[in-house]
Amino acid sequence: MAAELVTDPAIIEKVLQTVPQRPPFRYIDRILELSEDHIVGQYTYSKDEFFYPGHFPGHPVTPGVILLETMAQTGVVALGIYNAIKNGGSLNQISLFTDAEVEFAAMVLPGDTVTIKSQKIFLRRGKIRSKVDIYKQDGTLAASGTLSGMGVAL
């Protein structure tokens, strides 16, 4: 049985506001779908992101580590926050990345909008593991992997 989709915009907004990362290191603009088991989010990389001038001068490309962070903020942090809200867990935590195995498949360029799709593999003892894919606006797979993280009390 599929988990019920969240339709209340206030809950989606609460999840977004609870994600601890802030600009210039926040890589989730909106949540398109949300349930206990999955999340779909989007982010648009502005042409003036802080990392483009140095990666690579004259030919800017979004660094893989930034794509990984984008995947983690949606697929691990935001999904974990929603599960904490739904199940009465503490929001007085910070989500820490624990491990990842990611393959990169396509370049993401300045101005690109990406869609992040994540499916929860498990959530137990405060650790969440998710299968996360990131797609360019034309549907091209940019990266795919398995990411894990856990909430640590502040």
Catalytic residue numbers? 55
DSSP structural state of residue 125: T
CA distances to 40, 49, 60, 79, 109 from 119, rounded to whole Å, are 9, 28, 30, 9, 25
What are the structure tokens assigned to 41, written together? 């989010």
20: preceding bond cis by omega (within 30 degrees) = no
What count of other Cβ atoms lies within 10 Å of the Cβ of residue 105?
Answer: 14
Task: Mention every residue, 6+ apart, whose C-beta is less than 8 A from residue 102.
Answer: 64, 67, 68, 71, 143, 144, 145, 146, 147
DSSP 3-state assignment of 100? strand
What are the structure tokens assigned to 28, written together? 């989730």
